[in-house]
Structures are given as structure tokens and as C-alpha cells.
Structure 1
Amino acid sequence: MPWLAELALHLCRALHLLVLAIAPTWLSPEPLPPGALALAGSLSAAALAAVLGLSAWLAARLDTRLARNGAALLWVAIAAAIAAALYYRGPRAPLAQGVVLVAVPLWAALATLAAAAAERWLGSSFKHRRMGAAIAVIGLGVVQLNGAAPLLGSRERMWWAAIRRDGAHLRAIDELARPLRERRKLDELDGIAARCLRMHPAAAAPAEPVTCACLALRAEARLHARNAGAALRDAEAARERCPEQQSARAVLAEALAVAGRPERAEAEARAALEEGGDPSQLRYALALALERAGRMAEARAEADRAIDAGAGRKAQLLAGALAILAGDLDGAKARLTPLAEQDPSDAEALYNLALIADKRGDYNGARQGYLAALKADPRSADARYNLALLTFRAGITDESRHHVRKFLDAFPDDARGSQLAQTTGTPLGTAGGGALPGRSGAKPSAQEPPASSGSR
């Protein structure tokens, strides 16, 4: 950003913070950059200069030490606003965190100037006029700051306040969602999306950017919950309302791939890449589409490009799964081991590492890996399924049947259940009421499920 534009933005933020220090709930805790930045910067500079000039004029007019002290405190408050606006930006935002730093000298200045004015203009008939004016102003400041204390004490509340006030505040959505993504608590993204959509309903017209971002966020949560149909509906709604929003297009491409429409997913991802979308997200979605289309070599190359572009865990997981499918077990392990080391509760990475051990004939490594994956995520049907097969092949019949019964109870709608029971000789009557009925005829041989790519 050119230095003049940077200066203009900084002055706008300093003036915004001064207003927040007077009334913390009047404006957004983190302002968006103004559209006409040069004009907004000029107006902000003029406003700050006017405040400084007015304080100097008032000090000269009253010509008392108290007035001069008040003017000096006001200059200190403006200097604090400029410094805080410079500090609370970028990763240290939102700006409202600097309110207290500015409010202390600002309200002290206002109280001092009020006392000086009361001494000059209220006359001798008002006893304790200086103290009364100062107390009144300080009391007003305490009321304002105390009422905003819950907001100012929580960055999360500040970001929610920014969303409530501004339907274009996409950064606030990202700031609320990022910690959950980093901790892989993707189920909780649905709650953020639901609250956001209550503030900015999807049915409202015209569509606001934050509404589309929240629809895409809910689609992401539903992909994690393996609800591909609902995820696709949300992603398509976001794409229709905000076709220019590239993050929504990346989620749509991923949802299309998971929902079994890889051709359209590929077209969506490639079109968004040509239009300058985020390559880390879009190349991952493209790799997933290619994998679902059976074009494994192309998918591997695209997953590597996604990783090189800065894609995170999902792309690493997909690259590892594709390497397993290609028989490159060493390459897969090199991709997956850092994920498990970074997060020992990463169920999908643990499952894939167990699958590598299984393919290499390492019974203990595979068994421990599948058990670790199940401990991390009891919903891992593939880990339970493979564990039943692994122990059955090793001749540990009782344990194998135990895992078969667990599989049937936990995943009654999984079509593999009856086949697994027949293969391992597990009586279906010992499973829970939700178990699938067995099929007559010869026993089919159960096959281990493929590597987990992170999107099912």
C-alpha cells in the first residue's frame, strides 16, 4: 500500500478509536477500510486537527492552568489514539482493544476542561463548580465504559459486534472460524454460521457478503459431518448470491466433488483459479475432484500444487491418501507422519498410518493405529471395519467379532455390515437391533476401505 494510502487509513482508524473511547458501542469495534480512502483520510486529518485547534483555543480563551492541563491531556489522548491505531491492526485487531488506553487521558481531558469552563462561566454563586463539573464528566465516562466492559473484555464479542453492525465484514467471520479450524473443531463451525445467519438472514435481499460467507461456513461444517447433500445446497446458495466471493466457490467445488459430481467440481475450481481465486483452497478442491473422477495421477500433482500454495492439513491428508492408493507407502508416510506428530488426535492421519502398517503386514502397528483412530474419532467406520478384518486375518476371532458387533451397532446403515459379519462368521443376532440382516448364499470376502482423504 502506498504510504499516502497507509497514512490515510491510519488517520481514519485513529479518529474511529477516539469516537469508540467516548462511546464504545456507537461504532464497529474493527472498522472496514473506507471506499474513498483519500477523502476519508483527509476528513479524518481535518477532524483531528480541529479537535487539537479547539483545545488550544479553549486553553487560550480561559487562560488558566487547569485549561492548559486539559488541552495537554487532549493532545495526549490523540497521540494515544494514533499509537493504538498503529498497534491494534493486522493480526492484533480488533481496534477496540485500544479503547481503555485512549479513554483514560481523553475523559481526564474532558473532565479537566469542563472544570475549567465551569470555573470561568458558572459564576461564584455555584459552590464546588469545578469539582461538580469534573465529577459529572467522569461519571458519564465511567457509565459509558462500564456498560461496554463485557464487549471490550472479549475479542470474540468484538468480532460478533463487527458482524452485527456490518454485513460486509468478512474478516470477522474468518477470525471467529480460524481458531476452530486450527483446533479441528469443525462441528462447531455450524454454530457460528447459524448465529451469523440469524443476524443476516439468507432470505434477505440484497444478499450481504457476510451472509454468503456464513452459508459457505455452514457448508464446510456439513462436509465435515459427512452431510454432502446439505453442504452442496448451502454452497450453491452462497455461489448464487455472491458469485464474486472466491471462498464460497472453493467450498462449492469441494462439495460438488464429495457429492459425486466431479466434472462440475473441476469446472468450478478451474474457472475460479482463472479469475484469481485462492490457489490453496481451489487447488485442493480441484485435486479432490480429480480423485473422485478416478484421475489419480493428476490428482496427486494437483494436491502437491495445493500444498505448495499454502494449503494445510486437508491437502496433506489427500496427498497421503493418494500416495497410498498409488502404492507409494513411503511417500504416504512422509506426508502423514507430520500430521500425527502435530496433532496426536488426528483420526484420519492415524487411520491412514495404520492402513500403511496394515499393507506392510505390521499387525501390531496396524492394530494400535486403528485403535488410536477410533479413540480420536469413534465415528470412524473405516477404522472399525479394518480392525475387525485385521484381527480376523490374524486368527483372533473373539476380538474380531467384538469389533464386528461394534461396527453393526454404531453404523447400522452401512451396507458393509452384513458382508463383514458373514466374512468373520459373526452371528448377526448378537449385534444390536440396528444391525443389517444377513444375505443368503456364499460368503463374500470383505475388502478393506481405501485411505481417508479427509472428505467423505
Structure 2
Amino acid sequence: MPWLAELALHLSRALHLAVLAIAPTWLSPEPLPPSALALSGALSAAALAAALGLSAWFAARLDTRLARNGAALLWLAIAAALAVPLYYRGPRAPLAQGAVLVAVPLWAALATLAAAAAEQWLGSTFKHRRMGAAIVVIGLGAVQLVGAAPLLGSPERMWWAALRRDGAHLRAVDELARPPRERRKLDELDAVAARCLKMHPAAAAPAAPATCACLSLRAEARLHSKNAVAALRDAEAARERCPEQKSARAVLAEALAVAGRPERARAEAQAALEDGGDPSRLRYALALAHQREGRLSEARAEAERAIEAGAGRKAQLLAGALAILAGDLDGARARLAPLAEQDPSDAEALYNLALVADKRGDYNGARQGYLAALKADPRNADARYNLALLTFRAGILEESRHHVRKFIDAFPDDPRGQKLAQTTGTPLGAAGGGSAPPAPSGARRPPQEPAASSGPR
């Protein structure tokens, strides 16, 4: 951003912070960049200069120590309003976290100036005119700050307040979604999207663009929970309402790939890349589209490009899964091991590492890995299935049959269960369904193939 634009944005934020210091709930805790940045910067500079000029004029007009002290405090408050936004920006936003730093000198200035004015104009009949005026102003300030304390003490509440004021606040949506993404709490991610959409019910109207970010977030949550149809519906709605919103296009490209429409996914991702969209997300979507089309070498190359562009866990998991499918077990382990080290409860990474050990004939490594994956996620059907086959091939029949029974109890509708029981000689009833050798989990492929998570990046 050119330095003049940076200056204009800074002045706008400084004035915004000064208003928040007076009344913390009047404005958004984190303002969006104004559409007319130059005009907003000029008006903000004029407003701040006017406050400085008026305080100087007032001090000269009254020519008292109290007035001069009040003017000096006001200059200090405006200096704080100009300095504090330099810190509370970017990763340290929202801006309202600095409101108290400006409010203390600002309310002290207002109280001092009010006392000076009372001394000058209320007359000698008011014996405690200075103290009374100061107490009234300080009381007003205390009421504002105490009332806003729950908001100012919680960045999460500030982001919700910003989103409540503007459903198109992409930064607020991203910040609120970040904790459940990082913890891979898919129900919490969906709850954030639901609360966002509830704040802005107009999003149900076809022409309402205000909550495209919330729709995209719900699409992302539904992707992670394997509900591809609903995810695609939300992603298409967000794309239609906000065609200029690059994050919505990335979610749509991924949803199209997961929903089995790789050609459209490829076209959407490539067009968004040409328009300057996020390469980490869009190249991941391209990798998924290639993988769906069976073009595994292209998929692997795009997954690596996504990682180089800054993509996180999902792209690394996909790259590891594709490496397993390509028979590159060393390459798969190089991608997957850091994920398991970073998060020992990452069930999909643990499963894929177990699969690498399984394919290498490392019985102990594979068994321990499958068990670790099941401990992290008891609903990991492929880990239970492969564990039953692994122990059966090793001749440990009782343990194998134990896992078969566990599989059938946990996944009664999975057609592999009865065939697995028949293969291992587990007495559970009629056989049916099919069996397959172990394969990696999550590369958006059929069960028993490597796992490329649909969970948070």
C-alpha cells in the first residue's frame, strides 16, 4: 500500500480509536478500511487537528492553569490515539484493545477542561463548581468504561461485536473461526457459522451479500463433516452473492472437487488464481480436482505447490496420502511425521503413518499406529478394519476377531463388516459386502485409501 494510503488509513483508525475511548460501544471494535480512503483520512486529520486547535484556543481564552493543564492532557490523549493504532493492527487487532490507553488521558482532559469552564462561567455562587464538574465528567467516563469492560476484556467478544455490526467483516469471521480450525473442532466451527448467520437473517434473501463470509464458513464446516452436498449449496450461494470475494471462490472450488465435480472445480480454481486468489487454498482445490480425476501425479504436484504457497495441515495430509498411493513411502512419511509430532491426536496423520508401516511389513509399527489412530478417533472405521486384517495376517486370531466385532458394533451399516467376519472366521452371521487390502486414509477416495483430511487446514 502506498505511504499516502497507509497514512490515510492510520489517521482514520486514530480517530476511530479516539471515539471508542469516549464511547466503546458506539463503533466497531475493529473498523473495516473505508471505501473512500483518501477522503476518510483527510476528514480524520481535520477532526484531530480541530480538537487540538480548540483545546489550545480554550486554554488561551481562559488563560488559567487548569485550562492549560486540560489542553495539555487532550494533546496527550490525541498523541496516544495516533500512537496506539500502530501496535493494535494486523495480528494484534482488534483496535478496541487500545481504547483504555487513550480513554485515561482523554477523560482526564475532559474532566479538567470541564472544571476550568465551570470555574470561569458558573460564578462564585457555586462553591464546589470545579470539583463538581470534574466529578460529573469522570463519572460519565467511568460509566462508559465499566459498562464496556466485558467487551474490552475479551478479543473474542470484540470480534463478535465487529461481526454483529458488519456481516461482511471477513477478518472477524476468520478470527472467530481460527480457534476451532486449529483445534479441529468441527462442531464449534459450524456453531460459529450458525451464530453468524443468525445475527444476519437477511442472508436468507437471495440478494443479500452481507454474510457471504458466514455462508462460506458454513460450507467449510460442512466440508469437514463430509456433507458435500450441503457444503456445495452454501458455497454456490456465497459465490453467487459475492463474486468478488476471493475466499468464497476458494471454498467453492474445494466443495466442487469433494462433491465429485472435478472439471468445474478445476475451472473455478484456475480462474480464481488468475484473479489473484489465495494460491495455498486454490492449489489445494486443484490437487483435489486432479485426484478425483485419477491424475495422481498432477494432484501430487499441486499439493506440493499448495504447501510451498503456505497451505497447512490439509495440504500436507493430502500430499502424504498421494505419496502413499504413488508408492513413495519415504516421501509420505516425510510429510506425515511432522503432523503427528505437532499434534499427537491427529487421527488421520496417525492412520496414514500406520499404513506406511503396514505397507513396509512393519507389524509392530502398523499395529501401534492403528491403535493410536483409534484412540484419537474411535470412529475411524478404516483403522479398525485394517487392524483386524493386520492381526489376522499375523496369525493373532483372537485379537483379529476382537477387532472384527468392534468394527461391526461400531459400523453396523458398513458393508465390509460381514465379509471381514467371514474372512477371519468370526462367528457373527451371514456374510456380505466386500473386503479390500489396506490403503491410505483420506485422499478423498474410497475407504481403505490414504487419508487426506477434510478437516481444518
- TM-score scaled by length of structure 1: 0.95
**Kept after mapping to 1: 8 A contact 2:206/2:241:** no
After superposition, the Cα gap between the structure-2 partners of 1:342 and 1:126, relative to the gap in structure 1 and judged at 3 Å, is same
1:56 counterpart residue number: 56
The CA deviation string for residues 279-337 of structure 1, in whole angstroms up to 9 with x for no partner, is 11011011011111111111111111111111111111111111101111111111111
Superposed displacement of residue 370, structure 1: 0.5
The match for 1:438 among 416, 431, 443 is: 431
Q: Distance in 1 between matches of 2:283 and 2:112?
A: 60
More displaced stretch, 70-79 vs 388-397: 388-397
Give the drift of 1:184: 2.4
- Provide runs of 4+ in structure 1 moved above 6 Å: none
SS in 1 for 2:204: coil
What per-residue deviation string (whole Å, max 9, x for no partner) do you get for residues 14-61 of structure 1? Answer: 111110000000000011111111111111111011101111111111
CA–CA distance in structure 2, aligned partners of residues 212 and 422 of structure 1: 50
Confirm whether residue 454 of structure 1 aligns to residue 453 of structure 2: yes
Q: CA deviation at 1:345?
A: 1.1
Q: Distance in 2 between matches of 1:236 and 1:447?
A: 37
Number of the residue aligned with 1:191: 191
Residue of structure 1 equivalent to 2:169: 169
Q: Which residue of 2 aligns with 1:226?
A: 226
Deviations 1:62-84 (A, max 9, x none): 11111110110000000011111
- Decide whether the 8 Å contact of 2:415 with 2:434 is kept in 1: no
Which residue number in structure 2 is paired with residue 118 of structure 1? 118
- Counterpart amino acid of residue 203 in structure 1: A
Matches within 5 A, 1:134-283: 134-201=134-201, 202-204=203-205, 206-209=207-210, 211-283=211-283
1:99 and 2:99 matched: yes
Using structure 2 for the length normalisation, give the TM-score.
0.94
2:405 corresponds to 1:405: yes
Task: Work out the CA distance in 2 between the residues paired with 1:313 and 1:365.
Answer: 23
Q: Give the number of the structure with larger relative contact order, counting CA–CA contacts within 8 Å between residues 6 or more apart.
A: 2
Q: For 2:33, give the aligned amino acid.
A: P
Unaligned runs of at least 5 residues, structure 2: 439-447
Q: How is 1:240-389 mapped onto 2 (pairs within 5 angstroms)?
A: 240-389=240-389
Counterparts of 1:253 and 1:36 in 2: how far apart (Å)? Answer: 32
Distance in structure 1 (CA, Å) of the matches to 2:274 and 2:144: 50
In the TM superposition, what is the alpha-carbon distance from 1:207 to its structure 2 partner? 2.2
Q: Distance in 2 between matches of 1:256 and 1:422?
A: 38
- Identity rate, percent: 85
Amino acid at match of 2:437: Q
Q: Name the Cα RMSD after superposition.
A: 1.5
**Partner of 2:327: helix, strand, or coil?**
coil
Q: Per-residue deviation at 1:158?
A: 0.5
Q: Indicate the SS of the match to 1:428.
A: coil
Structure 1 unmatched runs, 5+? 430-436
- Give 1:243 deviation, angstroms: 1.9
Cross-structure match for 2:444: none
Distance 2:434 2:134 in 1: 88
Q: Distance in 2 between matches of 1:348 and 1:445?
A: 21
Q: Which residue of 1 aligns with 2:8?
A: 8
The amino acid that maps onto 1:447 is P
What are the Cα deviations for residues 396-440 of structure 1, in whole angstroms up to 9, with x where unaligned? 1121111112111222222222221221122225xxxxxxx633x
Per-residue CA deviation, residues 178-198 of structure 1 (Å, 9 max, x unaligned), is: 232223223311011001001
What one-letter code is carried by the residue in structure 2 that aligns with 1:207?
A: A
Secondary structure in 2 matching 1:34: coil
Contact 2:222–2:230 (8 Å) recurs in 1: yes
In the other structure, the counterpart of 1:432 is none
Q: Deviations over 1:251-272 (max 9, x none)?
A: 2222222222222222222222
Q: 1:80-115 CA distances to partner (integer Å, 9 max, x unpaired)?
A: 111111111111111101110000000001001111
